[in-house]
């Protein structure tokens, strides 16, 4: 009888402690000497600490969270510093003085430079994650299509269970990590609520802590469909994004969310295609010349990107963009539709003979690799990965038999695994498109020598 009472009390306490956690933990950047860990707790929580130790050790250290609590939405981030490189650590959150079920582990980066060959590694990526909320879903539409079938727009979320089992360094979300609805994007509270609701999906929780999570945004996790610089709540949206992801940085001078990730001999330039984006209807050209006022990245961000590409010694320089970049036959928004800025970057890459540049994009609800040849220069590739859980659209019109497409498929949920292998000077980037259960949907690779100038 006593044993049964103790068991009941233990189960009750576990439920109470777990109910204080809304979502997480989630891993942010894990570097050589520090790591960021994210968590969201309920409004009634009074104190949060993070306890950590080297795996296998007994002695622990504790960091007390000193930020604000007691809000309706309570996402928080804790930075753990003073770590050793290439070392695995275990951690647990302490909530209101009691150990919680929010726990996990991470391994810091290995210091390989000037010591060992460049390491092989992989990362995951994808875009367009729609979590159903029936009270608001039926009225939601991208294209004002009132004939949309009554089946939920959000599809099989078990893809995140599959992704959680991957042994990859990190996940890069390519935009539309959640979808604001009409009831959300006209109020700051609605923006907070949508991120809060999407992040709390039970199916996501193991994935969030299984590897570092980085993100850029696109229109739906920024605001209304296809909107850009004119969004009146963009500053509030930026605050929400910064609170629900913990990237290394977020733009400059309080503007935008662009940043970058460095891993082994790969650098990913995470751009912001919304904050400075001109309205699509602005003319592409004026007096027969590309309109310099129609921009997608904006002047400040473009200067950062050009300088970053020029500074980089990475074998592969991946430019991540919410919209497609190279697809000449796409009828939808793409960097190609901002010709002055597009040509500015293309000419810059040519002028300075920057090697290893590839583009990584989301948004389109289909996946493909687009190749554009450049006479006298190495070809450029646009690798699109979409969609994780949102509905898909079939290839149609000029895209049905796109002559620029190397591989591709439509109407299949998917994510991609980017793998980097080989010795220095012989590195290969392999892209594997994977389905809900991890099945191989397509594969493509490129050798570093194919992305060099002769």
pLDDT tens-digit profile of 166-224? 999 999 999 999 999 999 999 999 999 999 999 999 999 999 999 999 999 999 999 99
Q: Distance of CA 260 to CAs 315, 367, 443, Å?
A: 15, 23, 25
Please state the pTM of the whole predicted model.
0.94
Tens of pLDDT, residue by residue, the chain (454 residues)? 544 433 443 433 444 445 899 999 999 999 999 999 999 999 999 999 999 999 999 999 999 999 999 999 999 999 999 999 999 999 999 999 999 999 999 999 999 999 999 999 999 999 999 999 998 885 444 444 555 556 889 999 999 999 999 999 999 999 999 999 999 999 999 999 999 999 999 999 999 999 999 999 999 999 999 999 999 999 999 999 999 999 999 999 999 999 999 999 999 999 999 999 999 999 999 999 999 999 999 999 999 999 999 999 999 999 999 999 999 999 988 999 999 999 999 999 999 999 999 999 999 999 999 999 999 999 999 999 999 999 988 999 999 999 999 999 999 999 999 999 999 999 999 999 999 999 999 999 999 999 999 8
Cβ contact 236:243 at 8 Å? no
Distance from chain centroid for Cα 431: 17
- CATH 2.60.40.10 location in the chain: 20-107
- CATH 3.60.21.70 location in the chain: 121-451
Q: Does domain 121-451 have CATH number 3.60.21.70?
A: yes
Q: Distance of CA 354 to CAs 173, 312, 347, 379, Å?
A: 26, 9, 10, 12
To the nearest 10°, report the CA torsion of 371, 129, 126, 102.
Answer: 170
Cβ contact 274:221 at 8 Å? no
Give 165-188 as a DSSP string: T---SEEEE-S-SS---TTTTTSH
CATH class of 20-107: mainly beta
For 110, phi then psi, to 5°, come to -90, 135
């Amino acid at each position: 009888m006593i044993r049964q009472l103790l068991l009941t009390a233990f189960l009750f306490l576990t439920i109470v402690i777990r109910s204080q956690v809304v979502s997480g933990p989630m891993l942010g950047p894990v570097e050589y000497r520090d790591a960021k860990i994210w968590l969201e707790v309920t409004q009634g929580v009074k104190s949060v600490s993070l306890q950590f130790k080297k795996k296998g050790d007994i002695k622990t250290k504790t960091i007390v969270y000193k930020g604000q609590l007691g809000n309706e939405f309570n996402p928080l981030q804790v930075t753990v510093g003073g770590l050793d490189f290439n070392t695995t650590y275990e951690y647990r959150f302490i909530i209101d003085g009691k150990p919680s079920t929010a726990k996990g582990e991470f391994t810091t980066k290995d210091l390989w430079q000037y010591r060992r060959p460049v390491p092989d590694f992989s990362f995951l990526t994808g875009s367009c994650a729609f979590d159903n909320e029936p009270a608001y879903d039926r009225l939601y539409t991208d294209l004002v299509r009132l004939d949309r079938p009554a089946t939920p727009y959000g599809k099989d979320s078990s893809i995140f269970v599959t992704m959680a089992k991957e042994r990859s360094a990190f996940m890069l979300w390519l935009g539309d990590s959640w979808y604001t609805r009409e009831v959300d994007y006209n109020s700051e509270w609605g923006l907070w609520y949508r991120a809060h609701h999407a992040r709390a999906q039970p199916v996501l929780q193991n994935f969030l802590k299984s590897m570092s999570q980085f993100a850029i945004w696109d229109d739906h996790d920024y605001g209304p469909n296809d909107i850009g610089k004119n969004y009146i709540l963009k500053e509030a949206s930026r605050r929400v994004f910064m609170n629900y992801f913990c990237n290394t940085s977020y733009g400059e001078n309080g503007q935008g969310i662009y940043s970058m990730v460095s891993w082994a001999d790969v650098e990913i330039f995470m751009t912001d295609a919304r904050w400075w984006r001109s309205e699509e209807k602005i003319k592409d050209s004026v007096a027969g010349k590309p309109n310099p006022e129609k921009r997608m990245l904006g002047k400040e961000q473009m200067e950062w990107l050009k300088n970053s590409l020029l500074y980089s010694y990475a074998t592969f320089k991946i430019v991540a963009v919410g919209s497609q970049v190279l697809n000449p036959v796409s009828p939808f928004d793409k960097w190609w539709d901002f010709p002055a800025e597009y040509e500015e970057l293309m000419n810059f890459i040519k002028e300075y003979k920057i090697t290893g540049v590839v583009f990584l994009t989301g948004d389109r609800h289909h996946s493909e690799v687009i190749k554009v040849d450049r006479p006298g220069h190495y070809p450029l590739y646009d690798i699109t990965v979409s969609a994780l859980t949102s509905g898909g659209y079939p290839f149609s019109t000029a895209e049905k038999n796109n002559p620029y497409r190397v591989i591709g498929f439509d109407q299949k949920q998917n994510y991609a695994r980017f793998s980097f292998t080989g010795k220095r000077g012989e590195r290969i980037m392999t892209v594997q498109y994977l389905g809900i259960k991890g099945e191989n949907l397509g594969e493509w690779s490129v050798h570093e020598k194919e992305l060099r100038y002769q």
